[in-house]
Structure 1
Amino acid sequence: MKQQWLACGLSTLLCSAAFAQSQVKGYVYDDQNGNGKKDKKEVGLAKVAVSNGREVVLTDEKGAYSLPVGQDNTIFVIKPTGYRLPVNEYNLPQFYRHHKPQGSPKTKFAGVAATGELPKSVDFALIKQDEPETYKMLVFGDPQVYTQEQVTFFEKGIIDEVKTKTQDVRFGISMGDEVGDNPNLYGPYKQAIQKLGVPWFHVMGNHDMNYDAQTDSLSDESFEAAFGPNNYAFNSGKVHFVVLDNILYPDPRDGKGYQGGLRPDQLDFIENDLKLVPKDYLIVFCYHIPPFEEFRKEDRQRMFNALKDFPHTLSLSAHTHFQLHHFFGKEEGFARETPHHEYNVGTTSGDWYSGEMNAQGVPVSMMRDGTPKGYMFLSFNGNQYAFDYRVAGQPETYKIGIHAPKVIARRQSGKGEVYANFFQGSKNDQLEYRVDNSEWKAMTYTEEPDPIMVSTRLRWDEAAEPLQGTRPSNPVPCTHLWKAALPGNLPAGEHKLEVRAKDAYGRTFIGTHALKVINAAENN
């Protein structure tokens, strides 16, 4: 108990120090020549939001701002629509300045170097651009590289494919766990991301932390050194993005491990930020741990309260290494007639780079719910959105994994079942099947392990010799799975089984499966 009180006291002291009474001042300006300096002829931009991680202020008519800072702050501009941010050599947006006069505390992995005293003016450059309301972004869940070999898997299995598909992508984001407990791999990871050639944002995950930190506010020092702030916001088109570190470390309950949640200063930032956002914008929260996992309820409630007056909202998360949609309604504290949509995105690492090697020499790594590893395009049209999950190494039309018999005796066809895993689906979608262009028949939604994932795991358990690679994780119930009984009167011969998915956005996807029925001797 005494140790817990000491930890709480240290956290309070550090938090108070971070927001002491000195001031940072500067300008947000239109960097017309792109040199990163405010030249005399370059005008300041009015009504642009700037934050210290808690307070949020708007620039005046000359583009000037002023904010309180302590000894551990990152000051950042909140990009307005119609402008772009400068990027560094890794295509990481440069919209912030760390203020840590003494630098980060000494930890196993290096943090931010000492920044010294503040300059007289901390200025932020924005570059004017045409920014249509219709666009798309890329979303990566959990790259989570533990070794240099896994960096190579990430490059060969994801980056080499995606870099050919970014022509009309405005930017991308990784949803946390960029690395696996080893910030020394941030460098190789950034070199991989650089190859995509588009601006790339980052969310902090529980495997990106400094585990020797004594308080949550200092658990992000290596992440900050590599990527910038882990709590920030920006606008693009008619969408306002809020990026949050929602991992409390050490766990405030017992000091061991971590808990999902937010500190008071982070919740203050959310509220202060959203006060300045038009109510007709789509608000997109980006964080690592989905709040339907083990998450501090009072923090989730305050976060939901900040969203209740916005008709259009979405959350993106990762962390679980499976894919699902969750709809928060009034029974879970979201006080709006329409629920809040959370998309827990599938991962680029799949099931932690497990499984046998594919033709690329990369682990197959199917996720525990039967979703193959991949990445997601998120498209926007004003304040409306739609998503497109792509399976790595497959055509973009591959949306449905089908499990059904390949060969079946004629009189036993009615004993067979077809399962359909609509990878990006939810129980709000409709799935149907048919055989040989017959009438479409409804399939039944079910939550059980995907048979393909079950068979994958059984292959490892039943192998007479050890298989090459890492044994996959246990299967979990899939939240986007449907099943149906096969017809009992199929004649002998080749048949085409089709599955059709109609999603909540009015789109239709079709998958096919070859089925052979044979005349076999009947058992007496």
Structure 2
Amino acid sequence: MKQLSFVLLCSLCVSSLWAQSTAKGYVYEDTNGNNKKDKKEKGIANVAVSNGVQVVLTNEKGEYQLPVGDDNILFVVKPSGYKIALDANNLPKYYYIHKPNGSPTLKYAGVAPTGPLPASVDFALTPYQEDENFTALVFGDPQPYTPEDVENFTKGIIGEVEGIKNVSFGLTLGDLVGDNLDLHAAYRDAVKKVGIPWYNLMGNHDMNYDATTDAHADEAFEAHFGPANYSFNYGKAHFIILDDILHPDPRDGKGYWGGFRKEQLDFVENDLKLVPKEHLIVLAFHIPLYTDGESFRLEDRQRLFDILKDFPHTLSLSAHTHYQQQNFYTKSDGWLQEKPHHEYNAGTTSGDWYSGEYNEQGVPASTMRDGTPKGYIFLSLQGNQYTIDYKVAGKPKEYQIDIFAPNVVPIERNTTAKVYANFFMGSKNDLVEYRIDQLPWKAMNYVEEFDPHFLSLLNRWDTTETLMRGRRPSNAVKSKHLWTTGFPSGLTEGTHTIEIRAKDMFGRTFTQTKTYRIEKTPR
């Protein structure tokens, strides 16, 4: 009898340990919208669920099982044709945090102890007519350091898109705040006013910098926004959201470095095994995949490229730099397909960190160091194809080119001044042309120089006799979307029009005009 009791006790111990290390539950159709699985609500088969590394599909009853440790976030990978309930902040409720002991003690609080794992961790979905042609709203780096910055973000950006229509969801590409993680709640309060489902990813200024391991650098982010690595589907697009900041930097134990932990790339590999090859794969992370190994760990980028080699339709979105550029990765960079991989390194909603003179909106103009005005992005998808539009805050959507040229030149002699065109979404692969009045179009020359308009803004700060309101902009960086030509000669006295046209990577043409005068020099 004693031996039988011992065997039973051991069996119970093993069962108890198994229950503590295995999460199970249902993905179900929430017919009454109460976000709770009721008896009559049926499970949904073939839906992906993950613990952040492994990814499994639900069975015919909608059931899943996954191993968990003491620091896991379980989440459902939203399938196309379904929507997820939102919380009071318009954040999708797609995850369950399992931290029985809570987050470690850090300067900025993480997750409180969640207690024992529930007997069933269930995820609610609701059928939804999802169009394969849709638009997402994308923000780069709001990055407020102070409550005043939050007000400028709210007034200068949120006020312009609040209540926006015909946009399916939003995504912020990291640096939701600027090191003061107490402002995460204020950022969240601002963005919920847009009125659409909103996804977030972590930036280097959203981290718990006092964390001693990279796995714990996202504790405050998780408390406010959920997992730092996750995925979801919409139409024929599969979005993968990743934290690509290694902190502490494994090279010296200080600061941070761009890259991924092994288990993050394991998640990407496991996740993509369940995604159709013909779907568009949209990767979103904060630090761009630079070819410069000082900025990004190249072996991590290579493994990511290896995982993507059989997916012909891909796009990466990044931010972080506070300027704008189009990066194209080819075989020389380790990309394994003939067609280059496009990474859009997006301009930011904070621009040049809320610097510069105050504009007509009553907020800092905050033009970025490459001459790109601050703004936000519309990512439009048509099946597995995409287009990207950059919207300058406070300007008409047609404003895509800034022209810098003299306002008046002398008729008696040629000027050495030049015409510059900053095509905000351009790259060196694009064609940019100019004409004066209705003369024939001529190609402009692509250059990588400081944007002269931005330099003129800096000069105002550096030559003023009285202090100006606000903060001086940062020093200029060379623009990756700038074209120039010599000023035309031989025209008559009077007013003339410079017209610029640019054709982007998606085959669309944009134009901008500026007038100038030719006059006699005063005697």
TM-score range, shorter chain: over 0.9
Which residue does the alignment assign to 1:5? none
Which residue does the alignment assign to 1:121? 120
Task: Assess if the C-alpha contact under 8 Å between 2:418 and 2:486 holds in 1.
Answer: yes
Task: Assess if the C-alpha contact under 8 Å between 1:413 and 1:490 holds in 2.
Answer: no
Give the distance between the partners of 2:509 and 2:285, measured in 1 at CA.
30
Which residue does the alignment assign to 1:80? 79
Give the distance between the partners of 1:147 and 1:520, measured in 2 at CA.
50
Do the aligned partners of residues 284 and 493 (structure 1) sit closer, same or farther apart at CA in structure 2, a change above 3 Å counting? Answer: same
- Displacement after TM superposition at 1:459 (Å): 1.4
Which residue does the alignment assign to 2:6? none
Q: Structure 2: which amino acid aligns with 1:210?
A: N
Q: Structure 1: which amino acid aligns with 2:379?
A: L
Task: Assess if the C-alpha contact under 8 Å between 2:361 and 2:394 holds in 1.
Answer: no
2:272 pairs with 1:286: no
Q: TM-score, normalised by structure 2?
A: 0.95
Q: Which runs of no fewer than 5 residues in structure 1 stay unpaired? A: 1-18
Pick which of 457-466 and 133-142 moved more: 457-466
Q: Structure 2: which amino acid aligns with 1:417?
A: K
2:173 pairs with 1:170: no
Pick which of 262-271 and 452-461 moved more: 452-461
Task: Assess if the C-alpha contact under 8 Å between 1:325 and 1:342 holds in 2.
Answer: yes
1:124-523 alignment, distance < 5 Å: 124-164=123-163, 166-292=164-290, 294-520=295-521
Pick which of 269-278 and 502-511 moved more: 502-511
2:64 pairs with 1:61: no
- Displacement after TM superposition at 1:415 (Å): 2.8
Q: Structure 2: which amino acid aligns with 1:106?
A: T
- Displacement after TM superposition at 1:360 (Å): 2.0
Q: Structure 2: which amino acid aligns with 1:493?
A: G
Give the distance between the partners of 2:262 and 2:55, measured in 1 at CA.
15
Give the distance between the partners of 2:450 and 2:246, measured in 1 at CA.
31
- Displacement after TM superposition at 1:226 (Å): 0.3
In the alignment of these two chains, the number of paired residues is 503
Q: Structure 1: which amino acid aligns with 2:460?
A: R
Q: TM-score, normalised by structure 1?
A: 0.95
Do the aligned partners of residues 121 and 516 (structure 1) sit closer, same or farther apart at CA in structure 2, a change above 3 Å counting? Answer: same
| Cα deviations by residue, 1:468-511 (Å, 9 ceiling, x for unpaired) | 11111110010011111121111110111110011121211111
Task: Assess if the C-alpha contact under 8 Å between 2:427 and 2:481 holds in 1.
Answer: yes
Give the distance between the partners of 1:394 and 1:20, measured in 2 at CA.
57
Give the distance between the partners of 1:320 and 1:413, measured in 2 at CA.
39
Give the alignment's Cα RMSD to 1 decimal.
1.3
Q: Which runs of no fewer than 5 residues in structure 2 stay unpaired? A: 1-17
Q: Structure 2: which amino acid aligns with 1:318?
A: A
Task: Assess if the C-alpha contact under 8 Å between 1:81 and 1:236 holds in 2.
Answer: yes
Give the distance between the partners of 1:441 and 1:393, measured in 2 at CA.
31
Task: Assess if the C-alpha contact under 8 Å between 2:20 and 2:117 holds in 1.
Answer: no
Which secondary structure does the structure 1 equivalent of 2:456 belong to? helix
Q: Structure 1: which amino acid aligns with 2:53?
A: R
- Displacement after TM superposition at 1:42 (Å): 1.3
Q: Structure 1: which amino acid aligns with 2:240?
A: V
**Post-superposition, which runs of at least 4 consecutive aligned residues in structure 1 deviate over 2 A?**
411-416
2:95 pairs with 1:99: no
Q: Structure 1: which amino acid aligns with 2:194?
A: L
Task: Assess if the C-alpha contact under 8 Å between 1:370 and 1:421 holds in 2.
Answer: yes
| Cα deviations by residue, 1:316-361 (Å, 9 ceiling, x for unpaired) | 0000000000000000000110110000000000000011111222
Task: Assess if the C-alpha contact under 8 Å between 1:28 and 1:124 holds in 2.
Answer: yes
Q: Structure 2: which amino acid aligns with 1:167?
A: K
Give the distance between the partners of 2:20 and 2:270, measured in 1 at CA.
19
